[in-house]
């Protein structure tokens, strides 16, 4: 057993011998890998900044490092490479912000398929806006990898995506992705228990982070602490493109603590995602609905989010296609404009919060909605809604509620509604207003409604 004094002395000796001066530049060479030695690139003829393609030498280096259980550490500089197959058990390190892998074109860039383990950090991957082959979806393509960690890396100038992960398990953390000009920055398909956390994504086409499944099922991905800014919808459409975070058919996903701004459509959009939790997110300047849980979902909690400036605020909709069972609580939704970024369908916009089935809407603040602050149901698609203890200020209509035949039980109680130009609580048949203001009194004409305890501001 070494004493603390002996340990510090031994570390000082290593520094004197010149070992630590380079080791300190490798990212986090500690913990699990402290017993691994570092591969000497000089013996392999792999040097940066030589201005020519070094793919053969680079492939030899990664193969040797993995087979010899060594860390492949790349000194600062540019390495021009393409069509690299990442072997099993590779630990790849660069000097953060200084080691650049530059795509030479003509195939794939980096691809790992069928590995048990991959660990890489401290690298810049520059796609040079060159096309990838048809079987490669991103600068880094990970497929059927049992355990991977990608941290502290930068991905820029991709003709497709930054990172593609398929049927794998692992972590993408503290990475920067910019100018991914294909179909999104990070695409995760049919994985189990991914963590996508603390990344920065900006100036990308069509989507930021996508968590999808081929068939509806359990997924369990965490999408937490990411900063996502300026996501375009270059491919157009009415929802599939232009989202900061996009969930499709993936169950038990948690989306929390993200800062998402300036997306062409939604900040956070889930389609057919069961048991979804969306909480403590900042959603700013969304072109369409800021947070969306839509189509064939059962179980969604949307809580403690702040939404400022959107075409619509929060939508938990499409009971006609099975969308049901939710909680919408403790959100601040403000400055909701009557706008959509497309003309393909006749869309009703300007709504703060809209719900349809088996949902509680409580303790939200909705301020300055161009249309309706809270919309309950659409035509006959209304069942078992409680809307209570919400604060509504400044809307055209405070609460819209459907009174079409076959509408289900609805309780509207103890809400404070102020400065709504056309009324506090109004019954509608689709878009047509058919009741007087029910803010201070229930209407006996509609037995599915219980309206009581509400106050005007």
Residue 440: the pLDDT is 81
Residue 346: the pLDDT is 64
Q: What is the pTM of this model?
A: 0.91
C-alpha 103/C-alpha 428 separation (Å) is 58
Question: Helix, strand, or coil here: 22?
Answer: helix
Buried b (16+ CB within 10 A) or exposed e, 419-429: ebeebbbbbbe
Residue 44: the pLDDT is 81
Find, among 104, 38, 112, the residue nearest to 75 by Cα.
38
C-alpha 88/C-alpha 115 separation (Å) is 4
Cα Rg, the chain, nearest whole Å: 26
- CB neighbourhood size of 410 (10 A): 22
List, in sequence order, every residue forming a beta bridge with 104; answer none if it has no partner: none
Tokens at 197, concatenated: 């956390």
Q: Under 8 Å CB-to-CB from 119, ≥6 apart: which residues?
A: 33, 90, 91, 92, 148, 149
Q: Where are the beta strands (DSSP E) in 89-205?
A: 90-94, 99-103, 110-113, 117-121, 124-126, 138-143, 147-151, 154-158, 161-166, 170-173, 176-180, 186-189, 195-197, 200-205
C-alpha 131/C-alpha 140 separation (Å) is 14
Residue carrying the six token digits 């929802």 = 239
Residue carrying the six token digits 């060594």 = 70
Residue 38: the pLDDT is 87
Q: Are 260 and 282 in contact, with CB atoms under 8 Å apart? A: yes
Residue 339: the pLDDT is 85
C-alpha 457/C-alpha 109 separation (Å) is 61
User: What are 373-417's pLDDT values in tens digits?
Assistant: 999 999 999 999 999 999 999 999 999 999 999 999 999 999 999
Q: Are 189 and 163 in contact, with CB atoms under 8 Å apart? A: no
Strands 161-166 and 154-158 turn out to be unpaired
C-alpha 347/C-alpha 249 separation (Å) is 24
C-alpha 195/C-alpha 256 separation (Å) is 12
- Please, what are the averages of pLDDT over each run of 10 residues along the chain (457 residues)? 38 35 39 66 85 95 95 96 97 96 95 97 97 91 97 97 98 98 96 96 98 97 98 93 98 98 98 98 98 96 98 95 96 94 76 98 98 97 98 98 96 97 96 92 84 93
C-alpha 394/C-alpha 143 separation (Å) is 50
- Angle of CA points 344, 346, 351, to nearest 5°: 120
Residue 101: the pLDDT is 98
């Amino acid at each position: 057993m070494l004493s603390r004094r002996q340990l510090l002395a031994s570390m000082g000796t290593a520094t004197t011998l010149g070992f630590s001066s380079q080791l300190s530049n490798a990212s986090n060479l500690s913990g699990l890998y402290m017993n691994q030695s570092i591969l000497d690139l000089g013996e392999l003829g792999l040097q940066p900044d030589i201005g020519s393609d070094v793919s053969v030498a680079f492939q030899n280096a990664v193969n040797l490092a993995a087979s010899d259980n060594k860390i492949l550490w790349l000194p600062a500089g540019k390495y021009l490479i393409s069509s690299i197959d990442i072997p099993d058990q590779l630990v790849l390190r660069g000097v953060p912000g200084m080691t650049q892998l530059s795509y030479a074109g003509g195939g794939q860039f980096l691809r790992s398929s069928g590995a048990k383990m991959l660990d890489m950090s401290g690298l810049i991957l520059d796609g040079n806006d060159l096309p990838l082959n048809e079987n490669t979806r991103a600068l880094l393509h990970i497929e059927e990898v049992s355990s991977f960690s990608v941290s502290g890396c930068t991905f820029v100038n991709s003709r497709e995506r930054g990172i593609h992960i398929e049927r794998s398990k692992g972590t993408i953390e503290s990475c920067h992705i910019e100018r991914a000009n294909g179909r999104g920055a990070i695409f995760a398909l049919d994985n189990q228990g991914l963590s996508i956390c603390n990344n920065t994504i900006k100036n990308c086409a069509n989507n930021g982070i996508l968590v999808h499944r081929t068939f509806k099922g359990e997924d369990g991905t965490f999408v937490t602490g990411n900063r996502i800014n300026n996501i375009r919808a270059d491919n157009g459409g009415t929802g599939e493109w232009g989202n900061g975070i996009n969930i499709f058919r993936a169950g038990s996903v948690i989306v929390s603590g993200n800062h998402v701004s300036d997306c062409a459509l939604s900040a956070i959009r889930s389609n057919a995602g069961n048991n979804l939790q969306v909480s403590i997110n900042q959603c700013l300047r969304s072109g369409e609905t800021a947070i969306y849980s839509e189509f064939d979902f059962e179980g969604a909690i949307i809580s403690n989010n702040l939404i400022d400036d959107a075409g619509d605020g929060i939508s938990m909709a499409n009971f006609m296609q099975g969308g049901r069972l939710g909680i919408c609580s403790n959100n601040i939704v403000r400055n909701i404009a009557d706008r959509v970024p497309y003309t393909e369908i006749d869309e009703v916009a300007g709504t703060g919060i809209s719900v349809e089935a088996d949902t509680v809407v409580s303790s939200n603040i909705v301020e300055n909605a161009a249309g309706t602050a809270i919309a309950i149901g659409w035509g006959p698609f209304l069942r078992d809604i409680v809307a209570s203890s919400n604060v509504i200020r400044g809307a055209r209509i405070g609460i819209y509620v459907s009174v079409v035949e076959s509408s289900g039980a609805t309780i509207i109680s103890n809400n404070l509604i102020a400065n709504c130009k056309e009324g506090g609580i109004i019954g509608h048949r689709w878009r047509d207003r058919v009741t007087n203001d029910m803010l201070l009194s229930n209407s006996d004409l509609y037995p599915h409604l219980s309206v009581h305890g509400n106050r005007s501001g």
